[in-house]
Chains A and B, each alone.
Chain A
Amino acid sequence: MSMTINATSESFKAEVLDSEMPVVVDFWAAWCGPCRAVAPILDELSVQYVGKVKVVKVDTEAHPDIAMAYGVTSIPTMHFFKDGAVVKTLVGARPKATLQAQFDEVVGA
């Protein structure tokens, strides 16, 4: 079960920048082991935080322009957006407890 949304170069503005809710953007690629490892955790969190935090995935192979615009050179990178601006960045896969704490923070702040 997952409530994640796949963003494209066309939909990124509407899904992320114009979102009323905080958004966690996961930059990933199919060849990246740690990305595959963290994906099910983000799936779970997308359900757990439904209505509070939106989880958006960007396939960096299909949409390198978005990755480039946000200076992503390592994946997975998770950018936390609020009102269209990056408020926090995590580089590398993290256990669920760590990610959940960051989700809580972005909801609370």
Chain B
Amino acid sequence: MTEIRNVVIVGSGPSGYTAAIYAARAGLNPLVIAGSVTAGGALMNTTEVENFPGFVEGIQGPELMTTLQAQAEKFGAEVVFDDVTALDLSGAVKTVTTGEGKTHSTRSVILAMGSAYREIGIDDEKRLSGKGVSWCATCDGFFFRGQDVVVVGGGDSAMEEATFLTRFANKVTIVHRRDELRASKVMADRAKADPKIEFAWNSAVEGLDGADKLAGVRLRNLVTGEESLLPATGLFVAIGHDPRNELIKGVVDLDAAGYVVVQSGTTATNIPGVFASGDLVDSRYRQAITAAGSGCAAALDAQRWLEDQDDAEGAVR
């Protein structure tokens, strides 16, 4: 007979690992399916995290994630570096199948798959991906030493990438659709004060020039309609994220933007025993600490739900 677990956690960002810490401490022996190449989540591609409470001097994103993993494992969480390929959430015993072909049975599931980078959605983007077009400034900034690069986006991620890229690039132009930034004040101020950073306001990327490597970014001013060409060898896309809901589409209730709908004030989805947390649910705050907080809530919700099921079973007997 296959073992039936109490809880399987899908995802290993701040939300997944915090859920694992709480579930492990509750004696639920959680299994974390961390992802084969996405383990640690979005913070693995960041540098310094300055706003996670408890770290006066800040902490490197990857270091924070390895620490959270170690903390979860210390309390008995089991972490598997594989990808979930199928979920069957319908019955009292749910199954989680991984890329290596293993199927895990579990009474409850915490969905914490996070989000994926949003693409601009122009043909040139795919054509020149890895040939100047990048989604990871910390990985690829090194290749643009002394060159002119463009960052698209107006949020914290865009500001962080732009500021990071000034270590290497000659000039960084931030292209943003509006005339004000969505980024937090400290991040926006830092970018605006940087002598290497320029802004192209009210502008959208229309196309990319370059046959086999990026040579320039074609912009359109959304107010005047004027088109222009910005010479650049690097383009970093940081226009936001979309929830990674591929595995649960049509099964778990999603809102119009694709985020999992949870019962107000909880992490409960429309399916009994299935909980969701982190960026998969949150279109509003999207911070490491809010993801961690909701991961904690998901573990507590799962724990209570499992206890209620046990009580109900006891009453029937």
Q: Bound state CA distance, A68 and B52, in angstroms?
A: 37
Assess whether A73 is in contact with B134, with CB atoms less than 8 Å apart. Answer: yes
| Interface residues on chain B, number (Cβ under 8 Å) | 30
Assess whether A61 is in contact with B142, with CB atoms less than 8 Å apart. Answer: yes
Assess whether A37 is in contact with B83, with CB atoms less than 8 Å apart. Answer: no
| Interface residues on chain A, number (Cβ under 8 Å) | 28
Contacts of A73 in B (CB 8 A): 130-132, 134, 140, 143-144, 213-214, 233-234
Assess whether A34 is in contact with B136, with CB atoms less than 8 Å apart. Answer: yes
Q: Bound state CA distance, A92 and B139, in angstroms?
A: 10
Assess whether B45 is in contact with A33, with CB atoms less than 8 Å apart. Answer: yes
Given contacts A38-B37, A71-B213, A73-B213, contact A33 B131 (CB under 8 A): no
Nearest CB of A to B124, in Å: 15
Contacts of A38 in B (CB 8 A): 37
Q: Bound state CA distance, A38 and B83, in angstroms?
A: 13
1/0 per residue, CB under 8 A from A, across B71-114: the answer is 00000000001010000000000000001100000000000000
Contacts of A95 in B (CB 8 A): 36-37, 83, 99
Contacts of A71 in B (CB 8 A): 131, 212-213
Assess whether A41 is in contact with B37, with CB atoms less than 8 Å apart. Answer: yes
In the assembled complex, A89 has its CB within 8 A of some CB on chain B: yes
Contacts of B37 in A (CB 8 A): 34, 37-38, 41, 93-95
Which of A41, A89, A97 has the most B CB atoms < 10 Å from its CB?
A97
Smallest CB gap from A76: residue in B: B139
Q: Restricting to A72-109, which residues have a CB under 8 Å from any CB of B?
A: 72-75, 77, 89, 91-97
Assess whether A33 is in contact with B139, with CB atoms less than 8 Å apart. Answer: yes
In the assembled complex, A56 has its CB within 8 A of some CB on chain B: no
Assess whether B129 is in contact with A41, with CB atoms less than 8 Å apart. Answer: no
Q: Bound state CA distance, A64 and B9, in angstroms?
A: 40
Q: Bound state CA distance, A35 and B140, in angstroms?
A: 11
In the assembled complex, B38 has its CB within 8 A of some CB on chain A: yes
Q: Restricting to B36-80, which residues have a CB under 8 Å from any CB of A?
A: 36-40, 44-45, 62
Q: Bound state CA distance, A58 and B294, in angstroms?
A: 40
Assess whether A67 is in contact with B143, with CB atoms less than 8 Å apart. Answer: yes
Q: Restricting to A4-40, which residues have a CB under 8 Å from any CB of B?
A: 29, 31-35, 37-38, 40
In the assembled complex, A46 has its CB within 8 A of some CB on chain B: no
Q: Bound state CA distance, A92 and B129, in angstroms?
A: 10
Q: Bound state CA distance, A65 and B140, in angstroms?
A: 15
Contacts of A61 in B (CB 8 A): 142
Partner among B36, B40, B136, B233 whose Cβ is within 8 Å of the Cβ of A41: B36
In the assembled complex, B138 has its CB within 8 A of some CB on chain A: yes
Contacts of B132 in A (CB 8 A): 73
Residue numbers of B with Cβ under 8 A of A are: 36-40, 44-45, 62, 81, 83, 99-100, 129-134, 136, 138-140, 142-144, 212-214, 233-234
* Known pairs A32-B138, A34-B45, A93-B37 / 8 extra A-B pairs, C-beta < 8 Å: A33-B45, A33-B136, A33-B139, A37-B39, A71-B213, A74-B129, A89-B130, A95-B36
Q: List 28 A-B contacts (CB under 8 A).
A: A29-B139, A32-B138, A33-B45, A34-B37, A34-B136, A34-B139, A37-B39, A38-B37, A41-B37, A60-B142, A64-B143, A71-B131, A72-B143, A73-B130, A73-B134, A73-B213, A73-B214, A74-B129, A74-B139, A75-B139, A75-B140, A77-B130, A91-B130, A92-B130, A94-B37, A95-B83, A95-B99, A97-B99
